């Protein structure tokens, strides 16, 4: 699978993922385990590949045009 997540998008995903993963440390209610959903943006941010973008045919990664030899 090609890289389809741009650099700004990757940074946002990593930050959001880390914030969500920190929720179990800060909340005492039963909702705190929803913070585990933070694994998805963290993994897609670190890998640069988003299956959802691929299904929708989208990409935030700039395309570099290669010149034919």
How far apart are alpha carbons 57 and 37 in whole angstroms?
A: 24
What pLDDT is recorded for position 69?
52
pLDDT digits (tens, 9 = 90+) for 33-62: 888 999 999 999 999 999 988 899 888 888
What pLDDT is recorded for position 10?
94
Give yes or no for a contact between 45 and 14, defined as CB atoms under 8 angstroms apart: yes
Q: 15 pLDDT band (50/70/90 cuts)?
A: very high
Q: How many CA atoms lie within 13 A of 57 on its CB side?
A: 0
How long a stretch of residues is the chain? 69
What pLDDT is recorded for position 67?
53
How far apart are alpha carbons 19 and 6 in whole angstroms?
A: 20
Listed by start position, the domains of the chain span 7-56
Residue with tokens 């929803």: 34
How far apart are alpha carbons 54 and 16 in whole angstroms?
A: 21
């Amino acid at each position: 699978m090609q890289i389809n997540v741009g650099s700004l998008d990757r940074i946002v995903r990593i930050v959001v993922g880390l914030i969500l993963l920190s929720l179990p440390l800060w909340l005492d209610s039963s909702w705190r385990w929803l913070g585990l959903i933070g694994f998805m943006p963290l993994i897609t941010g670190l890998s640069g590949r988003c299956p959802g973008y691929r299904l929708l045919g989208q990409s935030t990664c700039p395309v570099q045009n290669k010149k034919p030899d």
